[in-house]
Amino acid sequence: MAGENVNVVFKLYCLTVMTLVAAAYTVALRYTRTISTGDMYFSTTAVCVTEVIKLILSLGMLSKETGSFTRLKSAIKEHIFFSPKELLKLSVPSVVYAIQNNMAFVALSNLDAAVYQVTYQLKIPCTALCMVLMLNRSLSRLQWFSVFMLCGGVTLVQWKPAEATKVQVEQNPVQGFMAIAIAVLCSGFAGVYFEKVLKSSDTSLWVRNIQMYLSGIVVTLIGVYATDGESVLEKGFFFGYTPWVCFVVFLASVGGLYTSVVVKYTDNIMKGFSAAAAIVLSTVASVLLFGLQITITFAGGALLVCVSIYLYGLPKQDTSSVGLKNMEKESKQKLVTV
């Protein structure tokens, strides 16, 4: 019982950190791409460095999990050097995440952070669709309704007037929205694919992460070469890296690892619901602690988020046409037996 409680607290902690980091990441990334002065860094290198840091941190976590250097060595041998098939399997989400992570930079170079956050919420129904198609999960009509209600609720909760600060670079909103559309599809697919691989065996989360980040490094390096190859050779890999850029890379690394832990202990749809709840709760906490003023859109959005969470959690009643046909069949069979 005590263990279960610790688990719930731990899950809540991971969800809250993940959500807060994601919010800080979006704002900091936008700042480094549009407002911060100085030489512009190569976003492709930032995505690549993030994969390297996540790999190092996951190796650290695996060594903690295995408990001794000898066991760590044999785990690496078994799961990395002698498992080319598994590495190949994990290279699928790593390619898709590499595209998604690069798209975040394109989108936030061209769109206001609030507009980005709001539009990005389309990932919630997209993820639900991927879970139905790829994991054979079924959602009742009410649950689908609550998924869209959540999407609307988070949109309202995060609704803010466009930023007043003058940006220093030219922006192309069409390009920004296209980047978000690609990121939404990638987020849904890669998240569910990773969850499927993770939960279909007993292999440790940290092993799965290491397998994914290894190919992630290769893929993102190809991205650096293909997009900024010549300029990187001329100016250097870390050209334009300021403390702010390092902060963005740090947040991306920590956020990625927390995301993986959240997916392990819950699932991708729960991740969406809980992240929404964390946004609402952290704003309410800011109201209580710092006297932040709540807007009408926030209040409406928060209400939608709460109702959608309640509706999603209601016991499933199969009202789909398949369900009704099954019920009809069952009652006919009963009649025949009688």
**Residue ranges binding ligand NCC (CB under 6 A):** 18, 21-22, 25-26, 54, 97, 101, 104, 123, 187, 191, 194, 209, 212, 251-252, 255-256, 258-260, 271, 275
Nearer to ligand NCC, 140 or 224 (CB): 224
| Residue 23 backbone phi and psi in degrees, to 5 | -65, -45
Nearer to ligand NCC, 104 or 111 (CB): 104
As measured in angstroms, the least distance from the Cβ of 319 to ligand NCC is 30
Nearer to ligand NCC, 116 or 241 (CB): 116
CA distances (Å), origin 312, targets 145, 153, 269, 274:
8, 14, 10, 12
Residues 6+ apart with CB under 8 A from 116: 26, 30, 107, 108, 176, 180
Where do runs of H (alpha helix) occur along the chain? 2-34, 43-66, 69-76, 84-110, 113-120, 123-135, 141-157, 173-199, 205-235, 243-265, 268-290, 296-313, 321-337
How many CA atoms lie within 13 Å of 118's alpha carbon, on the beta-carbon side?
18
As measured in angstroms, the least distance from the Cβ of 324 to ligand NCC is 35
Nearer to ligand NCC, 124 or 140 (CB): 124
- Spatial CA neighbour of 272 closest among 94, 128, 101: 128
Residue 79 to residue 86: CA distance in whole angstroms: 8
As measured in angstroms, the least distance from the Cβ of 100 to ligand NCC is 6
Nearer to ligand NCC, 142 or 181 (CB): 181
As measured in angstroms, the least distance from the Cβ of 70 to ligand NCC is 26
As measured in angstroms, the least distance from the Cβ of 53 to ligand NCC is 10
As measured in angstroms, the least distance from the Cβ of 196 to ligand NCC is 12
Nearer to ligand NCC, 41 or 97 (CB): 97
